[in-house]
Structure 1
């Protein structure tokens, strides 16, 4: 993601921001089958559209329904690594007599699944129809079976397979073949992927799109385009945004951010430029209004909040920044991707904002090589949140977040601290997937009070690197960010920190250069660096660059404060659990 993100700024713009083309999102493959009931979520698991997954959840259970274009057996499972083993799987089919067969299994190797002693996935329906085979089944989120996958808010790899024929038995499953299997990252509890969106009767939709942009044959490109917020005679709320990706370019459009650009004028509308190389001098656009990343789908604001336009202080001009990731440096990619915004004049109760917390994006973020689980910790301080909330009577109601790091990221936790007590995390993804980043709605609103603080923990696996990885814009560099959606909007949009490594010297950038040259295979060097990280001061930044009259609080902090009482997850409700 790029730099700063602050408000949920987003509504479309004038030139080249027009009414949506109804053909933009026409599926190129099989039409979505009709489920047996209304599910809150749906996902096409394979490119061809032969395998569709529907699901819904409540506080304790999850129900799946698979529609697969086959009259043979169907496999479905959950995995931590996306591989066929070890994993938690079910196998099912409907025989020629119309009888459904279904078993809860697990896998341990390149051989047939093993039937679980405890059958904790339960078949609700099995049938064949014109599309193929339909299996509907349910299970607890936590079955207390060591052979079953514990379903949490973290990303999970859904694995799938199918075969054109029914097996003779569960012990004689024929191999599904290399073309009839796959894996897909999903957040089963945290992201809603509605079957169909019906906008309010007074809604208007606008598109912000590139216009046949020729993506350069280089690994990383940040391309920007200026838009003007559509002028209306009265206030309106953005209530939804969604990606519009040029067919075939899904692998190249890594993320899109939309920034408030208060220094822009009508003369800038329609300008295109490389964001961090050729930005026009007059354009200073830092506060984020919209954040979308690869794998994400549409984001709907809660029913009591929306992002405001057409009142004093609201954005008038926007810059859309698109990160194109082209690791093979392919030429000939032409892109017209962007975003679709839905707005309403039916004003909701609260104006929403975005708080960007985590590491300031620059080379002061330092990840050493050869580390299996390196922790990069960044603070959004108590003082900054006090500046945002002004008085003890005020608070933020956080309702969603987008967690973001790059290729080395394995997990991200947005920790919430009140006084010297650590509360339940605002959000966490312990199985982070760089290729699947979606906004996650909280199960319930979280109140951030005056005097609270936040800590963003990013864990990295750098065992595949032989040199340090620094913070930066390219996917080969790293980031550690949490975009926190909340209401009511405050004047603070950025709450970030960066280590100074001041045990080495007074210039932090020179300190990074010094550390970069160290021998990172030497255990003494690793121990020295850990000691530096434990003692370093942090530079903290708390501001809103596009609201010049807003508070600005900066401070050197000895280190990220650790709460006296750490958060302990509630015990699992399993026999013998503590």
Structure 2
């Protein structure tokens, strides 16, 4: 026993970096810089076992940390910390933040270290975890926007609250990368941009102009698009939308307010492509793309750019827009976009002082065949873009058939206004004629003293879901809004028409009880469903809001379920030795802690060894 104890202590005191001799790291398709000046770089990917692997590379030779925050704040955050001591031994631990000054190690260690390396410049930590662990101190990885926290120090004295720390919103549940798609051998680019537009000194401006699409003699496909933002205007440009115009449309010239005095600048409502704050380039899947060059395809588009000049800066010139990539190498299907959600109009309102307020917009596809002029084939949805303004906190779209909910089409319950991007579906979703699409948006207006109405301004609100699908049809949008007169009457307000109903909402004294009454009335009210085609034909019908059933959460998993005995031994050896009291420990105290930790690890090693001998 004494020999075994001594041998165990020697092995523990000279644990080398466990990365040596390990197989090559897995291929991680997705990546992003997480901190300023490219100090922190993250790569990640998801495997078929619902395990997500991360590689964190940090410009330091000290400790590094990575984790998830509930909504961007520190308390409640799920943090993993690691590094390499000067003697080459490593430390790695799953922790959580209790409050603004307390970091504790989790009793259940649910992150598995794959490798940890350090050179003269970088510390690189490769690890993985289940999307949902059974530890209440670990946050789930979901289809919601993740609030990531990264931190690091200059040495191996872990001082999490004193180190450099960054936060960033990122969508992790990606299923396809641009590198997964095949690039055509022949392609061309074409810019749809404004030309030196003088941005007015206004908080919100919608600038629109009409631009011809590339003139091609035969059918081509637009397979990719990307934003082209004038340098230094990235915080000014809120979103860019490209709408297809019907070929029978008579279009104005020049640049004007999209929704101002001249209604012609609001013509064309079929979204082709779009970009919003935080988005990047997007490439369609190999089987589908946007068609141009045939008699059925648009020849002109409406370019819409929404500017948010909150600081009222003068003299701003902008030439932003969208760059499209098109090719004669055709795909199997033609892509289209269906705009769903709440019709953007003041009949949509959000009371002030609301912790959480839900609004609904209904689409009933039963009239699609008639509006399309021919039977509409099934819609195969492969991607989506969610959109609200500043008070939006969540967006969810559900699908119904014959009155029964089939499931959730897409959702983000931690919506971030600064990260609006096109996201892939995990699997192609089919919408059949007659199905209903219900969009629910959750808003928070604790910082507002007045009612928020639906409208184009950034301080107004929207609730939209753009569904990218194939094969295309002529339907451009299908959106709903509640019967405002019903809501007014429930709230005991007198109103005889829509405008009086809207004004009545603005005159109410709002409190928690009134807010909940209004939310319930808006859900119970008849929905007016407005369906519009690419040629600006519109038809209204009525519908009712159904309940959205939230699916059960996936089963949780312990990391130990996937580890062998040798893996468990390694995980035990890698517990962080200096988390508790590390903010103020002296060198002597830290050595004592390390000695105590090593003693505990010896007993753990002996126990595991005895299990192996048995």
TM-score by length of 1: 0.85
Q: Is the 8 A contact 1:261 1:319 kept in 2?
A: yes
Q: CA deviation at 1:129?
A: 3.7
Matched, 1:540 2:524: no
Tell me which residue corresponds to 1:484. Answer: 467
Q: Is the 8 A contact 1:214 1:333 kept in 2?
A: yes
**C-alpha separation between the residues in 1 aligned to 2:188 and 2:59?**
37
Find the partner of 1:77 among 49, 67, 85.
Answer: 67
Tell me which residue corresponds to 1:501. Answer: 484
Secondary structure of 2:135 counterpart: coil
* CA deviation map 1:455-508 (0-9, x unaligned): 000011122222211000011111111000111111111101112222344411
Structure with the bigger percentage of helix: 2
Gaps of 5+ in 1: 1-34
Q: CA deviation at 1:104?
A: 1.1
Find the partner of 1:422 among 395, 400, 405.
Answer: 405
**Against the structure 1 CA distance between its residues 65 and 247, is the aligned structure 2 distance closer, same or farther, given a 3 Å change threshold?**
farther
Tell me which residue corresponds to 1:402. Answer: 385
Q: CA deviation at 1:199?
A: 3.6
Q: CA deviation at 1:306?
A: 0.5
Find the partner of 2:545 among 560, 570, 573.
Answer: 560
Q: Is the 8 A contact 1:154 1:428 kept in 2?
A: yes
Matched, 1:42 2:25: no
* Worse-matched range after superposition: 273-282 or 259-268: 259-268
**Against the structure 1 CA distance between its residues 52 and 276, is the aligned structure 2 distance closer, same or farther, given a 3 Å change threshold?**
same
Tell me which residue corresponds to 1:137. Answer: 127
* Higher alpha-carbon Rg: 2
Matched, 1:229 2:213: yes
**C-alpha separation between the residues in 2 aligned to 1:303 and 1:42?**
22
Report 1:81-480 matches (<5 A): 81-129=71-119, 131-167=121-157, 172-173=158-159, 175-177=161-163, 180-190=164-174, 199-262=183-246, 271-277=254-260, 279=262, 281=264, 284-385=267-368, 387=370, 394-480=377-463
* CA deviation map 1:26-81 (0-9, x unaligned): xxxxxxxxx96642211111231111111111241111111211111111111121
Gaps of 5+ in 2: 1-23, 490-494, 559-614
**C-alpha separation between the residues in 2 aligned to 1:120 and 1:461?**
33
**Against the structure 1 CA distance between its residues 43 and 284, is the aligned structure 2 distance closer, same or farther, given a 3 Å change threshold?**
same
* CA deviation map 1:356-391 (0-9, x unaligned): 011111111011122211110110014245547888
Q: Is the 8 A contact 1:162 1:176 kept in 2?
A: no
Tell me which residue corresponds to 2:45. Answer: 56
* Worse-matched range after superposition: 53-62 or 470-479: 53-62
**C-alpha separation between the residues in 2 aligned to 1:348 and 1:64?**
34
Tell me which residue corresponds to 1:13. Answer: none
Q: Is the 8 A contact 1:55 1:62 kept in 2?
A: yes
Q: Is the 8 A contact 1:65 1:136 kept in 2?
A: yes
**C-alpha separation between the residues in 2 aligned to 1:254 and 1:191?**
26
**Against the structure 1 CA distance between its residues 114 and 302, is the aligned structure 2 distance closer, same or farther, given a 3 Å change threshold?**
same
* Worse-matched range after superposition: 39-48 or 427-436: 39-48
TM-score by length of 2: 0.80
**Against the structure 1 CA distance between its residues 98 and 414, is the aligned structure 2 distance closer, same or farther, given a 3 Å change threshold?**
same
**Against the structure 1 CA distance between its residues 292 and 408, is the aligned structure 2 distance closer, same or farther, given a 3 Å change threshold?**
same
**C-alpha separation between the residues in 2 aligned to 1:68 and 1:194?**
25
- Structural RMSD (CA): 2.7
Q: CA deviation at 1:392?
A: 8.5
